[in-house]
Amino acid sequence: MKISNPPKFDDIFLQMFLPVGMKMVKHIEPTVSQLKDLSNQNNQVNIVLPPEQEMNDVSAEMGKLIKECYQLFQTHQAIDEKGRYLYWDKIKHKYGKQAEKVWAATKINRLLMRKPLVLTEKYEFYFCIPDTMQALLHFIDKTSSHYNIQLINQKDKHILSMEEAITSAQMEGAATTRKIAKELITRRPDKPKNDYEKMVINNYHLMKKVVELKDEPLNIDLILDLHRTATRDVIENNAISGEFRQSDDFAIYDGENNLLHQPPPHEDVAELMNAFCDFANAEHDGFRQPEFIHPIVKAIILHFLMGYIHPFGDGNGRTARALFYWFMLKNGYALFEFVSISRLLQQANTSYGKSYVYTECDDLDMTYFIYFQLDKIKQAIDDFKQYVERENQARQNFTAQILDFVQQHGLDERQIEILKMAVAEKGKTFIAKELATQFKISENTARKLLKELADLKLLAPLKSGNAILFVAPADLVARLQK
């Protein structure tokens, strides 16, 4: 991932105006010398002015440059004509010889709208909120606030609540499938067999803890607690779970071994993390203090800063994403208990990394990262809505197909859901403990639901040690149609 540093806009304008400025100096220098001589003499001196035509030519050239700059500022705003917040490499490719001038104009327009974030005296970041970002924020706000969570089936809630834990672990290298990971969480959460399974279980507990702690103010102990949960019994780089790093032997490289990010010195970590907590806890609502930062933007900034500071030897990504969810839930975005972003981040891993590098290369402008995250959040919400609508439609279709049987035998919604899963996967085994977790009911109630279905010959009981499994028969559809 080779990314070139952008040119400094002040250097660009110096290159533009310096030749004309030098011409002007050349023409007025003799006059200045004469004035200097006059100040040292009592005799009258005839001042010879620069040739009028030459001065007019220089003035015209200067006026032309000023007009060109004005047109550049008007044409090239903080975002391009398609609403994109482009980095230097895209502008360089798009505008060729004019690229540096276009970049300078774009950069100045961004500086005019930027919002600074001074974390400590040594670390100052900034970000912009262009119109297209406002539109993304409006979409997420509208979708999140208007969506009725009660429309989500209890089983779907359980599945969706596992999704972020699983994909976050996969993003960090856990070699497991979603199906196996879901079975691990529901059937044997206390018995992970290897580091990959430990990562999945840790992440599941981490997301549960985020929900539990959403009303708490942020402090160092809470961050360490989240990190400890994320990395319990599975941490690399000789790091210690629940402790900040004590060395600078950590850097982030791409697949070609190019250095992407060198975190701040470990001596700065404690001060930075205290400032991080102060920023998270500050009320940027525009009322209690004049500055307003949209809660979603602030959640994304917290995600970014954790990755930038890199306070831990391992587990920074998992902790950063957990804090993003913590802040979203804290600010009333309840839908995000069921919306997963890690799957999309994993699919766009290169762009995810670039959004960090762009920020670091361009004067710590976090706007690149904010735009990237907002785009993935919007996509995650769209995917979530499609999943829920698809599952609800499938549930309605299945219920309609077996309506006579349901009415005849008085099956409830949970038993219909069990049968739907059984039809979808012949030979699937059901256990009371797993269903109790899915439906948030007691094991006795889950066992009763399964036994009633077995009594109707819709599931086959099978003894396994001290437990009883209930197996979906291959001819279940035919049995339901009798």
Is 317 marked as a binding-site residue? yes
CA-CA distance, 20 to 380, in Å (whole number)? 53
Show which residues are catalytic.
Answer: 310
CA-CA distance, 381 to 344, in Å (whole number)? 11
Within 10 Å of residue 458's Cβ, how many Cβ atoms?
Answer: 24
Nearest to 369 by CA among 43, 52, 85, 31: 85
Residues 6+ apart with CB under 8 A from 363: 126
Phi/psi for 384 (5° steps) reads -60, -50
Is 21 marked as a binding-site residue? no
Residues 6+ apart with CB under 8 A from 100: 7, 12, 15
CA distances from 50 to 32, 60, 278, 348, 368 (A): 10, 15, 61, 62, 50
CA-CA distance, 116 to 463, in Å (whole number)? 65
Is 10 marked as a binding-site residue? no
SS3 89: helix
SS3 289: coil
Is 316 marked as a binding-site residue? yes
Is 314 marked as a binding-site residue? yes
CA distances from 157 to 290, 339, 459 (A): 38, 10, 24
Is 195 marked as a binding-site residue? no
CA-CA distance, 101 to 79, in Å (whole number)? 15
Write the DSSP symbol of residue 285: B
Within 10 Å of residue 222's Cβ, how many Cβ atoms?
Answer: 17
DSSP per-residue letters across 449-466? HHHHHHHTTSSEEEEETT
DSSP per-residue letters across 239-252? --TTS---SS---E
Is 75 marked as a binding-site residue? no
CA-CA distance, 282 to 306, in Å (whole number)? 17
Is 315 marked as a binding-site residue? yes
Phi/psi for 470 (5° steps) reads -120, 120
Residues 6+ apart with CB under 8 A from 356: 260, 261, 304, 307, 308, 369
CA-CA distance, 448 to 454, in Å (whole number)? 10
Q: Which residues are annotated as a binding site for ATP?
A: 314-321
Q: Which residues are annotated as a binding site?
A: 314-321
